[in-house]
Structure 1
């Protein structure tokens, strides 16, 4: 079950963002281990203006090199989706019987 986002989910961001709704509040770079960082234009230029910057590692994610082949993953996904479709068909049949 997915729970809805609450204001608590954004509290750390709001604190770092500051009070100015236009984004002009003074900010503090939390460093290489911090969740929020500042990047100057030179750093952005060195990245060819790509803003997909990541520096925090999510230890819960699997190592991409150890993942199964894409064909296997696709096949597994299809199998799961087919099972879901079968379940939905069963539900529809039950609904028709109840009418």
Structure 2
């Protein structure tokens, strides 16, 4: 799908593609496509989103921003900026949905007027910064050229005191079960339709 979008773009065309996590790290054809995409396009930004926004509950999504470029012997991607809106963030579909203002910091840091004038919020002195940059050489040196990159410490794994309140956890479980039930209803309806058509 990402490869298809790239082929549809004219030179200097821009795209923002929603993709599940496996697109960022799977080997084989996935690795080949990532390497080719970074060579033929300026893959400049990755927004890591919480689960359940674009796909089924439990599926983590990302938005990959890239610009198609003319043919070149050298890769067009020089730096990839990553914003982590996932780690230590607790959004639910019903009780705490993602709102537009939750994206304000990303939009400001993205700096659409001049994205070459970006400034990272992460540094060794500020390890909680959500906005970090990686050079092309760092990216292709990673196993399978994986773009599944995270650096923030997940507080829920380190300290049970940082878990959301029980009522939030209970509501997240209810939301997940309702979403799963709805998916199974759709599958059952499709199966029933296929049986009737046969």
In the superposition, the TM-score normalised over structure 2's length comes to: 0.28
What CA distance in whole angstroms lies between the structure 2 residues aligned with 1:35 and 1:49? 21
* Greater fraction strand: 2
Question: What SS does the corresponding residue of 1:37 show, helix, strand or coil?
Answer: strand
**Match of residue 37 from structure 1:** 132
> What's the CA shift for 1:25?
4.6
- Number of residue pairs matched? 63
Q: Greater RCO between the two (CA within 8 Å, min separation 6)? A: 2
Corresponding residue for residue 106 of structure 2: 13
Matched, 1:53 2:146: no
Question: Over the residues paired in the alignment, what is the CA RMSD in angstroms?
Answer: 2.7
Query: Where in structure 1 are there 5+ consecutive unaligned residues?
Result: 64-80, 86-99
Task: Please give the TM-score of this superposition, normalised by the length of structure 1.
Answer: 0.51
Question: Structure 1 stretches (4+) deviating beyond 6 angstroms?
Answer: none
Q: Which residue of 1 aligns with 2:43?
A: none
Displacement of 1:15 after TM fit?
1.3
In the TM superposition, what is the alpha-carbon distance from 1:53 to its structure 2 partner? Answer: 0.6
Counterparts of 1:2 and 1:57, CA distance in 2: 25
Which has a greater percent of helix?
Answer: 1
Q: Does the 8 Å CA contact 1:19/1:25 hold for their aligned counterparts?
A: no
